[in-house]
């Protein structure tokens, strides 16, 4: 059916005993292959799991993907993948993102696949699978499962994640009864799908569409809608046409595509986690991704998505307002419109067909916020940089000086944060160290340090917080995240002591520790690296090879090699 040489033909074409054996293997799964093997084989990587409610809608969508592949003349071969869910995985799904990327890359390397449809939904599932697909570099389309239904509590819609943090503060302050807390728990069990705020899952779906790897308009379709089934079938068809056209991830994911993703990240007021994931994906594609691009490219971009936690609406409102195409139409003047998509069209052509933004997507003339959604700061406390979500921070705290209280790890923070004797005031800077990529390992979403209960009861709703950890995309507050280098490898956070003055100036791009250089050198000389937490298995391999946050927390041996080496070596096909 196609004039292109198919990768799968190395396994399946011919009359020898090896090709016959391979065809029989597929025929046993109900996948008929002729001796010419002229139909592209499209892998359907499905991460649905009962341990991950975010990804449960994907099984229904996989059926439609396969139908679309077959309608377009291809062969759909489904296989399961690791399912990375934030709800249950400890210490964090982020620890396993790179393992998923390895799995996808190696499944492609080892099997007769010409193209790939990735079914993913929860936070780390999308970037992890795409990282593997970028390295494998066969035509790839992403299908996401959408956001879960919106429940109501006390007569108001509930944004998953964001509402939980707010209700927990109410509970800690003694303003939420046992009965209300139980009712809130029942309310949160509202169905399958990802968080319905602009958390990491929704952010990564939006950015994948902007990067050109999805059916236009599909990223925001809520879970369970018939439109999602239609988009999944279209994705299957696109995978076949992408094989025929030779549209590979590394030809789509150019510097212009990543610039567009950064611009869209600001416009949606998305998750800080996306900064790490974009850096990791760019590293797989061999595209430079300096941290300063986050602030440089976003400085003039308005925040337009009126969606929690930066705004007030939820993801179904974003979808009803026109979704990604409508958003891009509003920021078209900032975009690189010649960037290519998996459809064969450019982003500019997608914008030309986009509806006008309404409702929860504000017009550029009346934004939710001017000047972008993120800031990047550097200084003596974070020489390699740190990130803050300014659109979810308190403006008055973006310039701040205050004494530090330092927590050495999550357990230390939990043990002391609500101690009535904790010497804390609203001016205190809360520091959480030892929770970066190496330190835990995995860099959990522990960065939104709770406001001490004594201050919550006094009406304090935000404080400056600094950490080498991440925070959930559904979180909010004046939190400086991803401080690099992290504490566990000897970064400056390891040297901070209680009472040290920290100076934050987000508009100026600085964060400094106001301690004499000779005193810092004395502390550095006395510093001892923490003992390894893991001696075997994946966590030990991860801690030994993980890069710091500005490089996306990928493993050092998984990034794009130098040009003198092939990025992806095909296996020798013969008898197994």
The verdict on 476 and 334 lying in the same domain is: no
The verdict on 287 and 430 lying in the same domain is: no
Residues ≥6 apart with Cβ < 8 Å to 521: none
Q: What would the DSSP string read from start to end of 370-417?
A: SS-SEEEEEETTEEEEEEEEGGGS-GGGSEEEEEEEEEESHHHHHHHT
The verdict on 123 and 262 lying in the same domain is: yes
The verdict on 394 and 437 lying in the same domain is: yes
Say if CB 257 and CB 350 are below 8 A apart: no
For 59-119, the three-class secondary structure string (H helix, E strand, C coil) is HHHHHHHHHHHHHCCCEEEEEECCCCCCCCCCCCHHHHHHHHHHHHHHHHHHCCCCEEEEE
User: What's the CATH code of the domain at 323?
Assistant: 3.40.50.2300
User: Residue 156 has what pLDDT?
Assistant: 85
Q: Which of 321, 352, 383 is the last residue of a domain?
A: 352
206 token code pair: 């939006």
Q: Which of 322, 352, 382 is the last residue of a domain?
A: 352
User: What's the CATH code of the domain at 382?
Assistant: 3.50.30.80
573 in a domain, yes or no?
Answer: no
Beta pairing partners, 467: 432
Q: Which of 138, 171, 188 is the last residue of a domain?
A: 188
- Angle, to 10 degrees, between the axis of helix 273-285 and the axis of helix 255-268? 170
264 in a domain, yes or no?
Answer: yes
44 token code pair: 């359907």
User: Residue 563 has what pLDDT?
Assistant: 54
403 in a domain, yes or no?
Answer: yes
The verdict on 208 and 237 lying in the same domain is: yes
The verdict on 52 and 199 lying in the same domain is: yes
Please report how many Cα atoms fall inside a 13 Å half-sphere around the Cα of residue 543, on the Cβ side.
Answer: 19
d(CA 325, CA 330): 9
Say if CB 339 and CB 346 are below 8 A apart: yes
Number of domains in the chain: 3
Determine the structural domain holding residue 270 and report its residue range. Answer: 9-149+192-352
The verdict on 31 and 95 lying in the same domain is: yes
d(CA 212, CA 250): 11
Q: What's this model's pTM, rounded to 2 decimal places? A: 0.95
The verdict on 140 and 159 lying in the same domain is: no
The verdict on 144 and 286 lying in the same domain is: yes
Q: What would the DSSP string read from start to end of 182-233?
A: HHHHHHH---SSB-SSSSHHHHHHHHHHHHT-S-TT-TTPPTT-HHHHHHHH
The verdict on 404 and 417 lying in the same domain is: yes
537 in a domain, yes or no?
Answer: no
Q: Hey, is 424 helix, strand or coil?
A: coil
pLDDT < 70 stretches in the chain: 1-3, 562-568, 575-576
The verdict on 60 and 122 lying in the same domain is: yes
The verdict on 229 and 310 lying in the same domain is: yes
428 in a domain, yes or no?
Answer: yes
User: Residue 2 has what pLDDT?
Assistant: 55
542 in a domain, yes or no?
Answer: no
38 in a domain, yes or no?
Answer: yes
How does strand 156-157 pair with strand 75-80?
A: unpaired
559 in a domain, yes or no?
Answer: no
């Amino acid at each position: 059916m196609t004039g292109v040489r198919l990768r799968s033909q190395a396994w399946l074409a011919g009359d020898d005993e090896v090709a016959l054996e391979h065809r029989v293997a597929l025929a046993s799964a109900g996948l008929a292959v002729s001796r010419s093997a002229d139909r592209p084989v499209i892998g359907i990587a499905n991460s649905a799991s009962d341990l991950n409610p975010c990804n449960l809608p994907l099984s229904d969508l996989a059926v439609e993907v396969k139908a679309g592949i077959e309608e377009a003349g291809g062969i759909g071969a489904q296989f399961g993948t690791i399912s990375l869910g934030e709800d249950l995985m400890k210490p964090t799904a982020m620890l396993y993102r790179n393992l998923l990327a390895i799995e996808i890359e190696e499944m492609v390397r080892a099997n007769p696949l010409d193209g790939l449809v990735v079914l993913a939904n929860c936070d780390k599932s999308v970037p992890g699978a795409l990282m593997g697909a970028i390295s494998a570099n066969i035509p790839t389309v992403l299908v996401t499962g959408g956001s879960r239904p919106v429940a109501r509590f006390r007569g108001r819609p509930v944004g998953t994640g964001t509402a939980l943090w707010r209700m927990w503060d109410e509970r800690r302050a003694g303003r939420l009864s046992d009965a209300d807390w139980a009712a809130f728990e029942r309310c949160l069990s509202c169905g399958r799908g990802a968080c319905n705020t602009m958390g990491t899952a929704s952010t990564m779906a939006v950015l994948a569409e902007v990067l050109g790897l999805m059916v236009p308009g599909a990223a925001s379709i809520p879970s369970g809608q018939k439109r999602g089934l239609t988009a999944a079938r279209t994705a299957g068809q696109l995978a076949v046409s992408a094989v025929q056209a030779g549209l590979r991830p590394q030809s789509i994911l150019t510097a212009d595509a990543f610039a567009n993703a950064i611009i869209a990240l600001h416009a949606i007021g998305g998750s800080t986690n996306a900064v790490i994931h974009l850096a990791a994906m760019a590293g797989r594609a061999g595209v430079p991704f300096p941290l300063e691009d986050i602030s440089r490219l976003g400085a003039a971009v308005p925040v337009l998505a009126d969606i929690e936690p930066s705004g007030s609406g939820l993801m179904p409102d974003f979808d009803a307002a026109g979704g990604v195409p409508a958003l891009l139409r509003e920021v078209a003047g900032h975009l690189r419109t010649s960037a290519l998509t998996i459809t064969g069209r450019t982003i500019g052509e997608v914008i030309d067909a986009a509806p006008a933004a309404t409702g929860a997507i504000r017009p550029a003339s009346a934004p939710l916020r001017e000047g972008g959604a993120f800031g990047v700061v550097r200084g003596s406390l974070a020489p390699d940089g740190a990130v803050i979500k300014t659109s979810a921070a308190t403006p008055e705290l973006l310039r701040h000086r205050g004494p530090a209280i330092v927590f050495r790890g999550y357990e230390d923070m939990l043990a002391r944060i609500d101690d009535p004797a904790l010497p804390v005031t609203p001016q205190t800077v809360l520091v959480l160290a030892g929770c970066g990529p190496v330190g835990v390992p995995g860099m959990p979403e522990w960065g939104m340090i709770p406001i001490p209960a004594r201050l919550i009861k006094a009406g304090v709703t935000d404080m400056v917080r600094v950490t080498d950890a991440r925070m959930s995309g559904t979180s909010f507050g004046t939190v400086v995240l991803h401080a690099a280098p992290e504490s566990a490898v000897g970064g400056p956070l390891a040297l901070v002591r209680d009472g040290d003055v920290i100076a934050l100036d987000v508009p100026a791009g600085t964060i400094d520790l106001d301690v004499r250089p000779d005193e810092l050198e004395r502390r550095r000389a006395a510093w001892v690296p923490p003992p390894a937490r893991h001696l075997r298995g994946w966590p030990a391999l991860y801690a030994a090879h993980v890069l710091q946050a500005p490089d996306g927390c990928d493993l050092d041996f998984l990034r794009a090699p130098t040009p003198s080496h092939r990025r992806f070596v095909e296996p020798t096909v013969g008898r197994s």
